[in-house]
Amino acid sequence: MSPKALKIALAASVALNLFAVAAGGTIWVTHKRAEQRIEALQRPAREHSPMALIRQLDPQVRQRVKATLKASALAAKPDFEEARQKRRAAVDLASQPNFDPVRARTLLEESRAAELRGRARLEADAVQLLATLDPADRQALSEILTRRGRVVARDRDDGAQAAAKK
């Protein structure tokens, strides 16, 4: 092989190796990001269950807080049941041969409205309860105001995603 052919082969080999390294790095970074997104979707919105938060409270306050939160949940239960029932009806309607998109849209809107009513009731009762607590107990219980359930990545900014990883 001539020196010119060797130089061309060497240049081609270097270019191919650089391409392979870049492709491997891209695949690795993409895989890590996908894993982080999946992990974030599976992580609950709050670190502790409400009962774990209540256990942190002063024993004299614990029973009152527990009873108040239970009463609030029972009062909001019909709204959440209505939301689930309306959503199930929309799903059933979508599987029928005579699908009515207007009715399905209406059912889903009613479902969202019922869920928001229930959530608003829970949040209002929680804020009212927090107002009756001393600062230390209020701080321990303040996490009940975080949204429960899955947090969608689009609802977070980069700072919140970094904080969620900790």
The long-range contacts involving 114-118, CB below 8 angstroms and separated by at least 24 positions, are 114/79, 114/80, 114/82, 114/83, 114/86, 115/79, 115/80, 115/83, 117/76, 117/79, 118/76, 118/77, 118/78, 118/79, 118/80, 118/83
pTM over 0.85: no
Res 43: pLDDT: 65
Res 121: pLDDT: 94
Res 45: pLDDT: 53
Rounded Cα distance, 153 and 164, in Å:
11
Output the tens digit of pLDDT for each of the chain's 166 residues.
888 999 999 999 999 999 999 999 999 999 999 998 888 777 655 556 777 788 888 788 888 888 898 999 999 999 999 999 999 999 999 999 999 999 999 999 999 999 999 999 999 999 999 999 888 888 888 888 886 544 344 334 444 444 444 4
Res 153: pLDDT: 41
